[in-house]
Amino acid sequence: MDVLRGEEILDKVRELFSKADKSVKLSSAWIKGDVLRELISSLGEGVELEVVIRASSYDDLQITDPQVFTAVSEAGGKVYLNPRLHAKFVIIDGKEAVLGSANITHSGLYREGNIETAVYIREPRKVKELEEEFESIKSQSYDFSKTVAFVVSLDTAREGRVILTREVQEQTYVRIPIANGNFFLGRLFDIRSINLSLSEFEGEDSPKDSAFIREVFSEREFGWVVASLFARSQEGVEIKVAKFEVLGEYERERNLFKTPIRPVRAGTPVEVLEVEEESLRAILLKNHSGYDMRFPTYVGRLQGTEVKAFLDMDKVVSMHMAVIGATGSGKTTFVKKVLKNFQEPTKVFVFDMYGEYYEELKELDSVRNVALPNVLVPIDGDDLKRLLKESGLTITERSTDEKELMSFFRKHLKPELERSHLMEKSLETLIKEGSLRVKDRYTREALMDVLEFWKRTYGEESVKLQPEVFSQLKDSLRADERVVIYNYRDVDITETRVNIAGLVMREILKEAKSEPRDRLIVLEEAHNFAPERGTSEVQAGRENLAYISARRIAMEGRKLRLGLIAITQRPANISKFILSQLNTQVIFKLITRNDLDAVSPFFEQSKEDVFNLLPFLKPGTAYISGLAVPFSFLFQMEEIPYW
């Protein structure tokens, strides 16, 4: 150990910097940029540089100047901030060190400065002890490289305002450190720019600005007023501010994400989220109840981050989900991705309006595609009576013939797969058999005319293939495949779509009651199956079996492990009762006022800014809230491999 005095300290430090091969660890309460830059200039390439400085008050940063941060950054190093630092030493490659009273400043290292003393250490054990001390100091210091903002004020216990230190996107998710590895999870929104020369950050009513505004606007010459404001704006420093919302508090020791019970402290730094952070992944793999997800299913990345987001399909199976968005916004793509990523042994039934699912899902190797023909499927006698009336034959049931005819149809047509005679007989056969019971020649001929009309309008198969269709439906319910798709691509008869969905959903519900296990129904264009009364040409009452079945599943499914995913581009047109039972909501771009009003109840007051973004969301971006996620968030789907 050698004692160093005066400029000997600077000479030795210069020598050590030039010899550094692997690392330089520097602790100094105060540092001057030009002094540090001279030392760094002799560093070889690839040397790891770490610097700890004091930051107990703004006065410290009147000594340690901006050049320090620039010089360290240019060298690829890192600066740490410590409010209690007084230690001054430098360690080179873990082999040599200088420890003393001198800061890395002119007064600390140059002849005309203070009287300083230091020791040069090269004993391995002592250098190692000093290196351990440096790591201890660093662990108590603040790494500001992740900092994007500082909390400046609180409006409520969970909301406030920040001043930004770097550019961030709207809806950026952040962490606000507390202590012991705990932190608040939050989001930034409503980002605004302020010119300090025209508007003080504290408010426009500051005395200085009020005097300036009064002086300028007391002059009536328009050009001079504009020129004055323009000139003043050139003097100013532009800053950006934003609002923040606290989404929850993470407690590291118990791996718990909970409702905050304390407010954020004004002055606290706000940090970007690290993708690989274990605690963040732990949060995103919890559901709204705070428990670990049973079936975590990947959906995309949190908006403004590279952080992967998940939803708990267990909560979807037990508590249902709505997927809402305008045409082309990404809602169907989202559901297909979710079904692909959801690999649990849950039986899935998809009612596919346009034949979009099979090509995407067939690679799962456990998919049955029930390609439905364009057939007429009346579910009961009254349904057939309506079909006949729409085709020009009104049956009033006043005559004995008509009463007997409808009695025959009601006997053979039941709203259940197993009880309907369409399982064995075609609609054409039933119509012909029924006509034989009619004595009135006009009615018999009218029935035959309607039959021919259906063939011309919908095709020959529309009245012939009922047994084949019913057999397909029956077999699909007992299929070994995990995913069954009812493919409506070739079906353009609205009543057929609704009736088949109603018959199948009734059977699924019946099976769920006799054998509860995980089942999931996906209802595309759900407003066409379960409409709000008066919003669709499809009936919304007791005569709509799909509506009745969907309503019962929405009410009773949770205790039977029978889930419902309702997909719609018109939330204003879907049954409000059913919509209210869908306890997770995924909302893509929406434009019309009626549809926006329909989803507004899903947005709490603190999410009003997100609600206002809905008309402007890009395809593939959506807001998700409810029981299947730990907190409400915006996410972005990706064209990436499924896993």
Confidence of residue 297 (pLDDT cuts 50, 70, 90): very high
Question: How much is the pLDDT for 553?
Answer: 96
Same domain assignment for residues 56 and 7:
yes
Same domain assignment for residues 33 and 108:
yes
**158, two tokens:** 């969970």
Mean pLDDT across 589-604:
93
Asked whether residue 488 is domain-assigned, the answer is: no
Asked whether residue 432 is domain-assigned, the answer is: yes
Question: How much is the pLDDT for 64?
Answer: 92
Mean pLDDT across 311-318:
96
CB of 192 within 8 A of CB of 245?
Answer: no
Whether the model pTM is above 0.85: no
Same domain assignment for residues 76 and 167:
no
376: nearest Cα among 313, 460, 311 = 460
CB of 370 within 8 A of CB of 470?
Answer: no
**277, two tokens:** 């952070």
Domain boundary among 424, 442, 464: 464
The range of the structural domain enclosing residue 154 comes to 145-302
Same domain assignment for residues 167 and 222:
yes
Through-space distance between the first and last CA atoms of the chain, rounded to whole angstroms: 59
**539, two tokens:** 């009936």
Distance CA 192, CA 634 (A): 20
CA gyration radius, the chain: 36
Question: How much is the pLDDT for 563?
Answer: 96
Mean pLDDT across 581-587:
96
Confidence of residue 640 (pLDDT cuts 50, 70, 90): very low
User: Rounded to 10 degrees, what is the CA torsion of 607, 609, 615, 619?
Assistant: -70
Asked whether residue 360 is domain-assigned, the answer is: no
Asked whether residue 526 is domain-assigned, the answer is: no
161: nearest Cα among 175, 151, 170 = 151
Confidence of residue 313 (pLDDT cuts 50, 70, 90): very high
Mean pLDDT across 24-37:
94
For residue 541, is pLDDT > 60? Answer: no
Question: How much is the pLDDT for 206?
Answer: 43
Kindly report the average pLDDT of the chain as a whole number: 90
CATH of the domain at 83: 3.30.870.10
Asked whether residue 126 is domain-assigned, the answer is: yes
Domain boundary among 268, 302, 336: 302
Question: Per-residue pLDDT tens for 171-208?
Answer: 888 899 888 888 999 989 999 988 777 765 444 444 44
Question: Per-residue pLDDT tens for 221-247?
Answer: 888 888 887 787 777 678 899 999 999
Asked whether residue 412 is domain-assigned, the answer is: yes
Question: How much is the pLDDT for 306?
Answer: 82
Question: How much is the pLDDT for 202?
Answer: 45
Distance CA 283, CA 279 (A): 6
Question: Per-residue pLDDT tens for 547-561?
Answer: 999 999 999 998 999
Same domain assignment for residues 89 and 227:
no
Question: Per-residue pLDDT tens for 403-419?
Answer: 999 999 999 999 999 99
Same domain assignment for residues 91 and 9:
yes
pLDDT above 90: percentage of residues in the chain: 69
254: nearest Cα among 305, 225, 290 = 290
Mean pLDDT across 99-124:
90
Phi, psi torsion values for 229, nearest 5 degrees: -65, -40
Same domain assignment for residues 384 and 283:
no
Question: Per-residue pLDDT tens for 139-155?
Answer: 999 988 889 999 999 98
Question: Per-residue pLDDT tens for 444-484?
Answer: 999 999 999 999 999 999 999 999 999 999 999 999 999 99
490: nearest Cα among 512, 506, 472 = 472
CB of 195 within 8 A of CB of 204?
Answer: no
Q: 262 versus 129: which is more confidently predicted?
A: 129
Same domain assignment for residues 182 and 129:
no
Same domain assignment for residues 228 and 160:
yes
395: nearest Cα among 446, 456, 449 = 446
Same domain assignment for residues 127 and 179:
no
Asked whether residue 132 is domain-assigned, the answer is: yes
Question: How much is the pLDDT for 203?
Answer: 45
Question: How much is the pLDDT for 539?
Answer: 61
Q: How many domains does the chain have?
A: 3
**427, two tokens:** 């609609």
Question: How much is the pLDDT for 538?
Answer: 61
Question: Per-residue pLDDT tens for 562-572?
Answer: 999 999 999 99
Question: How much is the pLDDT for 317?
Answer: 96
Neighbour-count burial for 169-195, b at 16+ CB within 10 Å, e otherwise: ebbbbbbbbbeeebbbbbbbbebeebe
Same domain assignment for residues 112 and 256:
no
For residue 116, is pLDDT > 60? Answer: yes
Confidence of residue 52 (pLDDT cuts 50, 70, 90): very high
Phi, psi torsion values for 212, nearest 5 degrees: -65, -45
Question: How much is the pLDDT for 641?
Answer: 40
Question: Per-residue pLDDT tens for 338-359?
Answer: 999 998 889 999 999 999 999 9
For residue 540, is pLDDT > 80? Answer: no
Same domain assignment for residues 235 and 186:
yes
Question: How much is the pLDDT for 642?
Answer: 40
Domain boundary among 124, 140, 156: 140
Asked whether residue 77 is domain-assigned, the answer is: yes
CB of 473 within 8 A of CB of 466?
Answer: no
